[in-house]
Amino acid sequence: MKNKNEITYHNKDVLSKILAENFKDKSLKVYGIDVPKIKQILPTNLPEIQVNEMRLDNLFLLEDDSVAIIDYESEVKWENQLKYMNYIVRILERYKKDEMPKKIRMIVIYTADVETAPEEFSAGCLTLKMERTFLRKIDSEGEREELTRRLKEKLPLSDDELMKLIILPLTYKGTERKKQAVKEAVELAKQITDNEKKTFVLSGILVFADKIIDADTAKYIKEVVRMTQVAELLLEEGREEGREESRIQGINALIDSLKSLLIPDETIANQLMERYQLTRGEADAFIRQRQI
C-alpha cells in the first residue's frame, strides 16, 4: 500500500519543474559525493517491468553525460541491492530505443543513522558497485548555526549552502529528530530574500525528505512555495507602478489569491507583514476588509 504521506508522482513532477533549472550546475560534493556537476534533472517515472511499483528518489544527468541514480537510506539491508538493480534495468529499458547512457552511477546517500555499508554487492554472475556517502560526517548543528547566522545577517547563501540546507534534515539521527529538522529547515528557507532560491530550497526539502515528511508538513511547505510565487508576481507589479494605490491593489490581490488556496488568515497576515512591512494590526485590517 502506498504511504499516504509520500509525494505523488504528479506532484513530484510538478516540483521537478521548479528544481530542474535550479539544480543545473550544482555540485553534489557538499554531500561527500565526488562526481561531475549536475547537468539536468531527469524524470523518475521509469518504465514498469514488475507488477509492484518502485520509485527511485532522484535521477540526474551529470556533466560527463553519465546518469546518476540517487537513493536515500536510513538502514542497511541487502534487499536494497535488488531495488537498485531494478532501477538500473528500468533505466536501460527507457534507453533501449536510443543510445545507451555513457555510464550509470548508483549513488546511495545514507542518513546519519548509518555508520558503515558495503560498497559492492555480488551475486556471482554480476557485481553491483555503489558510490556511497554518509551524512553522519556532516556537523548538523554547526551547519544549522552557520546558516542561521548568515540568514539573520541578510547575507546571500552560496550554491553549496543552498544544497546543504536542502539535505540538512537527513543529517540528524532518528525519525522524530529528522521531522523536527524538516520544520527547522523550512523556517530557515523562508528567511531567504531571493524568492527563486527560496522556492528552490523549499521544493528540494519536499522532494529530498519525502520519506520522512508527514502530510501536514508537506501541505504547509507547498503553501509556502505557492505564496512565494504569488507574492513575487504581485510585488513586481507594485514595483513597476511605484504608487501607493498599486501597493494597496497588490495587497488585496495577494489576500484574494492566498484565500483561494484556503490558506489560514494568520498565515496570510504573516505573509503581508513580511512582504509589505505591515504591522499585525494593519495586516488584520486588510484581511477583514476583503471579507466584507
Q: Domain-by-domain residue ranges, the chain?
A: 9-213, 227-291
Q: What pLDDT was estimated at residue 20?
A: 64
Name the H helices within 153-264: 159-167, 175-189, 195-208, 215-241, 244-260
pLDDT at 125: 94
Q: Which helix (H) or strand (E) is 131 found in, with range?
A: strand 131-134
Q: What is the mean pLDDT of each run of 10 residues along the chain (292 residues)?
A: 42 53 83 89 63 64 92 90 90 81 92 94 93 94 96 92 93 91 91 86 82 78 70 50 64 79 82 82 84 62
Neighbours of 284 (CB within 10 A): 17
Contact between 72 and 111 (Cβ < 8 Å): yes
pLDDT value, residue 259: 77
At 129 the pLDDT is 95
Q: pLDDT at position 194, please?
A: 86
Does the pTM surpass 0.85? The reply is no
> How much is the pLDDT for 101?
84
